[in-house]
């Protein structure tokens, strides 16, 4: 089993790469954004709870997010591991995720940051905004704010995982195939080779 956390600023290609990696290694991709949308749309107990905070303009407490992730992990007992995307975002969330996985006799094996130059990412996001219609992908100031928030919140996380010797950086510039190859090289170093019977 292999459990990964994918980091990267908006536009770094986390979702795209997670799709390739989940196929290649039979992993379940857990994107917190998708999990939130699913729970709210389907009116689950946790979705309704999250919505009460969102409607007030408050942040959803970590415990609610962790409970949603626990459900996702439990729903997929046949996965060979998980890719966490969009979580954790703070040191407290990283600790909470470690605790959740420990209960299941699991752990995070590696956290991988997709590194890319801000100018390249701004260009990517503006292009994406033309297609997706997302307003936060169409305004350079909003994009820069999201980058700032990422830098502020993620820096302590990098330290947290570096201390555990689980943090890796991968160049996020290049073709999708090249980036997938770089990610695979990191994963192969932490994944025990399959024994041939």
Verify whether residue 70 is a known catalytic residue: no
pLDDT in the model for residue 103: 92
Q: Whole-number mean pLDDT of the chain?
A: 90
**pLDDT 10s digits, 21-61:** 999 999 999 998 889 889 999 999 999 999 998 888 888 89
The mean per-residue pLDDT over the stretch 65-89 comes to: 92
> Do the domain assignments include residue 195?
no
Query: Are 183 and 17 in contact, with CB atoms under 8 Å apart?
Result: yes
Given the residues 9, 14, 28, 182, select the one marked as catalytic.
Answer: 14
pLDDT in the model for residue 48: 95
Lowest mean pLDDT among 64-73, 105-114, 149-158: 149-158
Verify whether residue 191 is a known catalytic residue: no
The mean per-residue pLDDT over the stretch 145-167 comes to: 89
Query: Are 94 and 84 in contact, with CB atoms under 8 Å apart?
Result: no
Rounded to whole angstroms, the Cα distance separating 105 from 100 reads 9
pLDDT in the model for residue 196: 47
Rounded to whole angstroms, the Cα distance separating 173 from 168 reads 15
In the chain, the N- to C-terminal Cα span, in Å, equals 18
pLDDT in the model for residue 46: 94
Please name the helix (run of DSSP H) or strand (run of DSSP E) that holds residue 139, with its range, or none: none
Given the residues 51, 70, 128, 153, select the one marked as catalytic.
Answer: 128
> Do the domain assignments include residue 80?
yes
The boundaries of the domain holding residue 165 are 2-190
Given the residues 51, 70, 134, 191, select the one marked as catalytic.
Answer: 134
| pLDDT surpasses 90 at 67 | yes
Q: Domains in the chain: how many in total?
A: 1
The alpha carbon of 43 is separated from its chain's Cα centroid by a whole number of angstroms, namely 23
| pLDDT surpasses 90 at 156 | no
> Do the domain assignments include residue 71?
yes
The mean per-residue pLDDT over the stretch 74-103 comes to: 91
Given the residues 51, 70, 142, 146, select the one marked as catalytic.
Answer: 146
Given the residues 89, 142, 166, 191, select the one marked as catalytic.
Answer: 89
Verify whether residue 89 is a known catalytic residue: yes
> Do the domain assignments include residue 9?
yes
Domain CATH for 121: 3.40.50.300
> Do the domain assignments include residue 8?
yes
Confidence at 117, pLDDT banded by 50, 70, 90: very high
Verify whether residue 169 is a known catalytic residue: no
3-state secondary structure of 116: coil
pLDDT in the model for residue 161: 95
Rounded to whole angstroms, the Cα distance separating 9 from 6 reads 10
Please name the helix (run of DSSP H) or strand (run of DSSP E) that holds residue 140, with its range, or none: helix 140-163
pLDDT in the model for residue 193: 53
Distances (CA, A) of 103 to 3, 88, 96: 14, 17, 11
Please name the helix (run of DSSP H) or strand (run of DSSP E) that holds residue 71, with its range, or none: helix 62-75
Distances (CA, A) of 125 to 46, 55, 78, 103: 31, 27, 35, 38
């Amino acid at each position: 089993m292999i459990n990964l956390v994918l980091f990267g600023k908006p536009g770094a290609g986390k979702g795209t790469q997670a799709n390739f990696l989940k196929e290649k290694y039979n992993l379940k991709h857990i994107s917190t954004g998708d999990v939130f949308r699913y729970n709210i749309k389907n009116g689950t107990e946790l979705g309704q709870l999250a919505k009460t905070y969102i409607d007030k303009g408050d942040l959803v407490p970590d415990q609610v997010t962790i409970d949603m992730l626990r459900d996702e992990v439990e729903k997929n007992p046949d996965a060979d591991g998980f890719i966490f995307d969009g979580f954790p975002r703070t040191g407290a969330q990283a600790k909470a995720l470690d605790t959740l996985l420990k209960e299941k006799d699991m752990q995070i094996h590696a956290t991988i940051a997709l590194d890319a130059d801000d100018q390249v990412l701004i260009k990517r996001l503006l292009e994406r905004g033309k297609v997706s219609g997302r307003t936060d992908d169409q305004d350079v100031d909003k994009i820069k704010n999201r980058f700032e928030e990422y830098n502020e919140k993620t820096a302590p996380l990098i330290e947290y995982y570096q201390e555990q010797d689980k943090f890796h950086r991968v160049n996020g510039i290049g073709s999708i195939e090249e980036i997938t190859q770089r990610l695979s090289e990191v994963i192969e170093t932490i994944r025990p080779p399959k024994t041939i019977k």
